[in-house]
Chain A
Amino acid sequence: MKPKSIVSLLLGTALTLALAGAASADDKVVKIGSLSDQSGLYADLSGPGSTVAAQMAVEDSGLTGKGWKIDIISGDHQNKPDIGTSIARQWFDVDKVDIIVDVPNSGVALAVNNVVKEKNGVYINSGAATSDLTNAQCSPNTVHWTYDTYMLAHATGQALVKAGGDTWFFLTADYAFGQALERDTTAVVLANGGKVVGSVKHPLNTSDFSSFLLQAQSSKAKIIGLANAGGDTTNTIKQAAEFGIVKGGQKLAALLLFLTDVKAIGLETAQGLNFTETFYWDMNDQTRAFSKRFSERMKNGAPPTMVQAGVYAGILHYLKALEALGGNPHDGLKVVDKMKSMPTDDPLFGKGAIQPNGRTIHNAYLFEVKKPSESKGPWDFYKLVGTVPGEEAFTPLSESKCPLLKK
């Protein structure tokens, strides 16, 4: 090839690349991937309902009317980190996904966290609990909405220790989430002068808890802390009632309980349980209006859980940031920075902010499960007993071990 033609070839290539770059910087195309447990023990609290919430967020953002093209795809990680990461990689490499949302199961969530960082995407996690996502393993591409283990430990744990529950025994799901929740709650119990007398780790997705409950019973601890979630929690509570644990004077602390769990346990058994959530469908007119629209789209007519509400609020904020940027830069760092610079405000969680470590700050609420006689409808389950302001509920920045804060 002659030198001249090489030059023109290089020039041509450079020009094409520049044009392509310019085109993508300005485009108004967004692809959202909702990655979840679609059929296992966390499917009801996130799963297909989270995809519905994502669709509603896109519709309510009003961007499609302004010439934006926004697609949503969903995937099933089956609670396996390897499946979760391979879906995430395929989404970024082949399907050109911009943002991954939901991702319950802390083990999968942490694995996907690394992929999103590597691919410079956007990650709004609403489903996972581990506080590590905004702590030791924080990422500049990640925003953690809705809740985390620090918040659960502080709100529920502190309230119970102060009410006299000073000896604890933990029943812990044996993976990243359960361990993080036990660790964070133990810290709270010790800090408030309580004592942890023992713990037992059970495999994820266990159907029979009687052996573990007997160990908890014989520990004589005042509080049995359930560091598990979803189907595991409902089975534990149901079987604890059978073994007369609450009648014997011990108290159950469901550190993480969702609306769908209470439905599955039934009010007869669940009544009186104290726990913390950041969203309940029956809080105010806005949440009721949203929940009505949401449940009409669900096959079983269920109102949204806090995880699904978090998916909605997170995407709404993401799309606001994109609109403020004037287009989709397809650059995760840039978008997340923009999201952090804007205060959050949505009908479900109210006003809040995203901290530099990626943690979204909003109120948390202490609830108690109603007695069957107090419940007026098929999903009328909670009584509000206290509100924890966002700044107190989540990890203070001074305690966060996130490397991003050291800059």
Chain B
Amino acid sequence: MQALYAQLLVGLINGSFYALLSLGLAVIFGMLNIINFAHGALYMMGAFCAYFLLELAGIGYWGALIIAPIVVGIFGMFLERTLLKWLTGLDHLYGLLLTFGIALIVQGVFQNYFGSSGLPYAIPDQLKGGMNLGFMFLPIYRGWVVVFSLVICLATWYLIERTRLGAYLRAATENPTLVRAFGINVPRMITLTYGLGVGLAALAGVLSAPINQVRPLMGADLIIVVFAVVVIGGMGSIMGSIITGFALGVIEGLTKYFYPEASNTVVFVLMVLVLLVKPTGLTGRAA
């Protein structure tokens, strides 16, 4: 029974990464109608950004947590302005292909210079060590990841669903021409939204740097699972992606305990089941 609690908690930790990443995807899809396959590559760039800040500028983890999302977010906005904006109004497939291509190029460039086995990034001193919870030894850093990403997820949800800015955003997705007529700069708002989604990916990258290796393919391995999470939660649904992110982390954790061989596939089996029963995803509205 104790082992079960431990696995639940570990699942929650993985779930925080799924939630952060799928949240970014949901924001981008909901507002821009783009299936952002470059998300994994941008997540990886966040982790590399943290590494460079430390190695080249001596800026540690806490600085990276703020700077990396901004830097990568600006890169994302540049992508949106130069490439993605030309795809407005076209089929989803074009956005998917373009962002997939961008992901391959970015990963290829990083792999060319840094190889595939990754670079070490230490846990910040303040979060080193762990505490004994009785049923398991919880590394403090992992606890921090769960709490921090939960706060970020809820803050993003609040921003989009409960504030005036969020209302503008949602209105601009529904009817950009009308919102423009009210004197709101819709293209700029869309660029900033993409920047926000990308920034969330980079933030997840910084969070994961001390846990996983900082390596060029870290995002490519994760992105497929995260897409499954988004599909299960319902494309574009903010709360849906947060909840499914955490929930699937837990389910995956339990699978690792009861039948580890299936831990790679359980998410996809669930995806198939959900698509069969409710094709719009658990919280998605019919298109």
A68 contacts which chain B residues (CB < 8 A)?
Answer: none
Q: In the assembled complex, how far is the CB of residue B259 from the closest CB belonging to chain A, in whole angstroms?
A: 10
A15 to B179, CA, bound (A): 85
Are B3 and A207 interface neighbours, CB within 8 A? Answer: no
CB–CB B213/A299 < 8 A: no
Task: Contact check, B120 vs A211: say whether CB atoms are below 8 A apart.
Answer: no
Minimum CB–CB distance for B253 against chain A, Å: 6
B115 within 8 A of partner (CB): yes
A45, A202, A210, A234: the one within 8 Å of B213 (CB) = A234
A210 lies within 8 A of B13 (CB): yes
Q: Is A197 an interface residue (CB 8 A)?
A: no
Q: Is A41 a contact partner of B117 (Cβ separation < 8 A)?
A: yes
Given contacts A207-B222, A243-B137, A244-B137, contact A231 B117 (CB under 8 A): yes
Q: Which of A205, A208, A248 contacts B14 (CB 8 A)?
A: A208
Specify which of B113, B115, B218 lies most central, judged by the most chain A CB atoms within 10 Å of its CB. B115
Report if B53 contacts A (CB, 8 A).
no
Residue of A nearest to B118 (CB): A264
Which of B63-71, B160-168, B188-196, B260-268 interfaces with chain A? B260-268
Binary interface encoding of chain A residues 189-227 relative to chain B, with 1 for a CB under 8 A from any of its CBs, else 0:
000000000001111011110111011011000000000
Q: Mask for B107-126, Cβ within 8 A of A = 1, else 0?
A: 00001111111111011000
Docked-complex contact A44 and B117, CB < 8 angstroms: yes
B137 & A39 in contact (Cβ 8 Å cutoff): no
Whether B221 pairs with A266 at a CB distance below 8 angstroms is no
Residue of A nearest to B6 (CB): A214
Q: A218 near B112 (CB under 8 angstroms)?
A: no
CA distance A212 to B260 in the complex (A): 8
* A-side contacts of B139, CB under 8 Å: 242-244
Q: Are B117 and A260 in contact (CB under 8 A)?
A: yes
Given contacts A242-B141, A266-B122, whether A41 and B3 have CB atoms under 8 Å apart is: no
> Is A268's CB within 8 Å of the partner chain B?
yes
Say whether, besides A203-B264, A268-B122, A215 and B218 are in contact (CB < 8 Å): no
Known: A214-B3, A217-B137. A43 touches B116 (CB 8 A): yes
| Chain A residues within 8 Å of B136, by CB | 214
With a cutoff of 8 Å between Cβ atoms, the chain B residues found around residue A207 in the complex are 212, 218, 221-222
Bound together, the chains give a CA A260 to CA B120 distance in angstroms of: 12
Most chain B Cβ neighbours within 10 Å, of A39, A43, A210, A231: A210
Q: Which residues of B sit under 8 angstroms from A234, Cβ to Cβ?
A: 117-118, 213
Q: How far is the CB of B51 from the nearest CB of chain A, in Å? A: 12
Residue from A44, A212, A263, A269 within 8 A of B256 (CB atoms): A212
Complex contact B116–A44 (CB within 8 A): yes
Chain A residues whose C-beta falls within 8 Å of the C-beta of B117 in the assembled complex: 41, 43-45, 230-231, 234, 260-261, 263-264
Which B residues are CB-close (under 8 A) to A47? 116
User: Shortest CB–CB separation between residue A230 and chain B, in angstroms?
Assistant: 7
List chain A residues, Cβ under 8 A from B13. 210
Q: How many residues of A contact B (CB 8 A)?
A: 44
Identify which of residues 232-251 in chain A touch chain B, using a CB-to-CB cut-off of 8 Å: 234-235, 238-239, 242-244, 248
Contact size range, B:
35 or more
Instruction: Decide yes or no whether B7 CB sits under 8 A from chain A.
Output: yes
Interface centre among B122, B130, B215 (most CB of A within 10 A): B215
| Nearest CB on B from A336, distance (A) | 32
Instruction: State the CA gap A182–B35 with chains docked (Å).
Output: 42
A214 & B10 in contact (Cβ 8 Å cutoff): yes
Q: Would you call A231 and B123 a contact (CB within 8 A)?
A: no
**B272 CB within 8 Å of chain A:** no
Shortest CB–CB separation between residue A362 and chain B, in angstroms?
Answer: 25
Residues 1-41 of B, flagged 1 when their CB comes within 8 A of A and 0 if not, give 01100110011011000000000000000000000000000
Give B121's nearest chain A residue, CB to CB: A266
Q: Is the CB of B260 within 8 A of A260?
A: no
How close is A18's CB to chain B, nearest CB, in angstroms? Answer: 50
Q: Is B257 an interface residue (CB 8 A)?
A: yes
A248 to B136: give the CA distance in the assembly, Å: 12
Give the contacts of B205-228 with A (CB-CB under 8 A). Answer: 211-213, 215, 217-218, 221-222
Q: Is there a chain B Cβ closer than 8 Å to A8's Cβ?
A: no
Shortest CB distance A241–B (Å): 9
Given A242-B142, A243-B130, A244-B130: A201 touches B115 (CB 8 Å cut-off): no
What are 21 A-B contacts with C-beta separation under 8 Å? A41-B116, A41-B217, A43-B117, A201-B260, A201-B261, A203-B260, A206-B263, A206-B264, A207-B212, A207-B218, A210-B142, A214-B3, A231-B117, A231-B118, A234-B117, A238-B212, A239-B211, A244-B139, A260-B117, A264-B213, A299-B115
- The list of the 5 closest CB pairs from A to B, nearest first, reads A266-B120, A211-B256, A44-B117, A43-B116, A203-B264
Q: Which residues of A contact B (CB under 8 A)?
A: 39-41, 43-45, 47, 174, 200-203, 205-208, 210-212, 214-215, 217-218, 230-231, 234-235, 238-239, 242-244, 248, 260-261, 263-266, 268-269, 299-300, 302
